[in-house]
Every structure is written in C-alpha cells, then in structure tokens.
C-alpha cells in the first residue's frame, strides 16, 4: 500500500536510473542446442542493436512522464523460467499466452487451451501486480521479450477481427460511436447495432484527436504499449518470422524440449491471414492523405523495429 502511495507521489526522475538496466545484457545462449539457430540468432542481434541505436538517437527518456506501474502494465510474468513478455495484440499474443501457461505449469499442452481461457482466465500475472521491489527485480533479472508486426498489417488485422465479425464488445462500444460520428446519413439499424463499420470510418476515428471513444490495445502503438526505449527488451521477435523466433526464444529460456510454439491461427481460422496483399486492398479505400497520416501515426513503430514504410 505504502509503496503504491509513494509511487504515485514520487516523480519519475528518482526511478530513472534505478529500474532501467543501463545497457542491454548479452543474451545467455548456454541452453541453446545445435547449429540450426545461427541465422535466427544473428537476426536477433541485429534487431537488438538496431533498436538500441534508435533509442540512443531518439532519446525518448526526456519525453517520458509515465509511472513505472503504467510502463509495465502490459507485461506478463512467467516466474518458473524467468520470462517477461510484453503483449502486442495481433502479433501472436494468444499463442504466446498459451505457451506461458504451459511454461508456468498452468496447462499441459498449448492445444487444449481455449481462446476465452487465454484472454479471460485469470491465470497469468502481469508485472504491475507486484510491489516495486518485485517489479525492479524482475525487470533486471528476467529475460524480457516483445513480439511485433508490420504496423499496417497489425492495424488491418485488428480491424478485420473486431469489426468484420460479430463482436459483443467492439460493435456496441466502438462501432456505434464511429458510425454516429463519421457516417453521413447513417440508418437506424447501423446506429443501433454498431455493426458494419467501414475501414475508412475506422481510420477517421483513429486519426481524430477528439475521438468519440478512447484508444484500444489492439491498435495502440507498440511504442505506447511496451515502451521499448525505456525497457531494454532482451529479445525482439517478429510476427513475420514468428515460429522460428519463438522456438529459438524457448530454447534460450530452457523450455521443455517438447514445447513448440503453436502454428494454429487463433480465431476466424477460415479467414485468409492479413498479408501485405490484403492490406493493399484495404488501403485503397483511403485517400492519399489518410494513408500518409496513418503511417505517421505508427511512425515510431516503423522506425524502432526497422519496418519498411509502405
């Protein structure tokens, strides 16, 4: 209680040097078996140094006025193998949570954990549920990982998932507000259900500084979900190379040999995956200016993780 109180009263400056490991730890590769990981490993080292160089140049620490507890609110903890995983939705997070549950002994196999169990079961702890000492200790000693995805692909994937399928939360909460504000002459039915939001309307909402409803983790920038310049992630995985990155990471942390990252698509498995080609179709619905502004919105994510701008 007291720690929380001090936390909320204390300026961030006194934590600045304290909880951030000064430099990136070299990855402990003693548990990795076999030569087959050489390429994955060299890619990994490139990503790590790229992000570090970017953060040095960008020097975002000056701009940060966020509480430590908020900084770590998206990070899942797996104490047995000493893993911290920052959740980026639409970049393999459901399957990552399944893997963490198996690592933690909460499930025997990734294959029998339902989607609802992953997202609504209260199994995995988040880092912000620990006291300050617990947070510091884990940040400084556990292997911290983040998995990211091309920003436009992630955005289109989130739109398809939440607005093109029946959804008892996103339609009434976001859909209604979006249709009401951005659709000229919307009919009664659309206003009542919030279903049928068009991609262009969704982008108008995203870019509106006076949004009728707040942001959501499914389309929030990775820079604001996981703070990659403040928390030195030891491992940077990408959705584009998800399985090999994930399986290499599992080797690094000494996971059981039989545990492999699942290949299955978590929901709407009959839908085509959101690929660059699918994204292109959606972006056609936007004006040139809207496309540019959307890119600008995710500008930092593009830069940090070395994605090619569209």
| Cβ atoms < 10 Å from Cβ of 1 | 6
List CB contacts of 180: < 8 A, sequence separation 6 or more: 186, 191, 212
Give one DSSP letter per residue of 41-94, joined into a string: HHHHHHHHHHHHHHHHHH-GGGG----HHHHTTTEEEETTTTEEEE--TTSSHH
Residue whose tokens read 């960008």: 58
Residue whose tokens read 């709407």: 268
Distances (CA, A) of 258 to 63, 104, 139, 247: 44, 15, 28, 11
Closest to 40 (Cα-Cα) out of 246, 299, 259, 297: 246
Which alpha helices (DSSP H) does the chain contain, by range? 2-9, 13-19, 38-58, 68-71, 93-103, 115-120, 132-141, 151-163, 170, 176-182, 188-193, 199-207, 222-225, 242-252, 276-283, 288-297, 299-304
Q: Are 101 and 107 in contact (CB under 8 A)?
A: yes
Instruction: Name the residue ranges covered by the structural domains of the chain.
Output: 37-152+217-305, 154-207
Predicted confidence (pLDDT) per residue in 66-89, tens digit? 678 888 999 999 999 999 999 999
Q: What angle do CA 267, 144, 59 make, to 5 degrees?
A: 110
pLDDT score, position 135: 93
The structure's pTM equals: 0.89
Distances (CA, A) of 268 to 56, 160, 183, 271: 40, 10, 27, 6
Give one DSSP letter per residue of 259-289, joined into a string: -----S-SS-TTSPP--HHHHHHHHTTS-HH
Q: Which residues of the chain have pLDDT under 70?
A: 1-23, 59-66, 122, 265-270
Terminal-to-terminal C-alpha distance of the chain: 47
pLDDT score, position 14: 43
């Amino acid at each position: 209680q007291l720690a929380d109180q001090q936390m909320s009263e204390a300026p961030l400056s006194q934590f600045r040097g304290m909880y951030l490991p000064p430099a990136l730890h070299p990855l402990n590769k003693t548990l990795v078996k076999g030569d087959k990981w050489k390429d994955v490993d060299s890619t990994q080292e490139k990503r790590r140094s790229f992000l570090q160089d970017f953060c040095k140049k960008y020097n975002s620490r000056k701009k940060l006025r966020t509480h430590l507890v908020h900084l770590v609110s998206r990070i899942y903890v797996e104490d047995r193998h000493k893993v911290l995983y920052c959740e980026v939705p639409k970049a393999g997070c459901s399957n990552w949570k399944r893997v963490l549950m198996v690592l933690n002994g909460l499930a025997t196999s990734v294959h029998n954990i339902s989607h609802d169990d992953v997202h609504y079961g209260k199994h995995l702890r988040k880092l912000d549920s620990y006291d300050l000492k617990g947070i510091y200790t884990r940040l400084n000693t556990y292997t911290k990982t983040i998995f990211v995805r091309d920003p436009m692909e992630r955005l289109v994937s989130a739109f398809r998932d939440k607005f093109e399928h029946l959804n008892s939360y996103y339609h009434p909460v976001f859909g209604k507000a979006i249709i009401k504000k951005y659709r000229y002459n919307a009919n009664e039915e659309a206003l009542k259900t919030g279903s049928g939001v068009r991609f262009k309307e969704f982008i108008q909402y995203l870019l509106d500084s006076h949004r009728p409803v707040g942001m959501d983790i499914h389309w929030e920038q990775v820079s604001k979900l996981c703070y990659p310049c403040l928390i030195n992630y030891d491992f940077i995985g990408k959705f584009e190379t998800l399985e090999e990155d994930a399986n290499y990471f599992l080797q690094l942390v000494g996971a059981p040999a039989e545990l492999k990252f699942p290949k299955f698509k978590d929901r709407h498995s009959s839908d085509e995956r959101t690929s660059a080609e699918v994204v292109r179709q959606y972006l056609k619905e936007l004006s040139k200016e809207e496309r540019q502004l959307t890119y600008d919105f995710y500008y930092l994510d593009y830069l940090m993780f070395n994605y090619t701008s569209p």
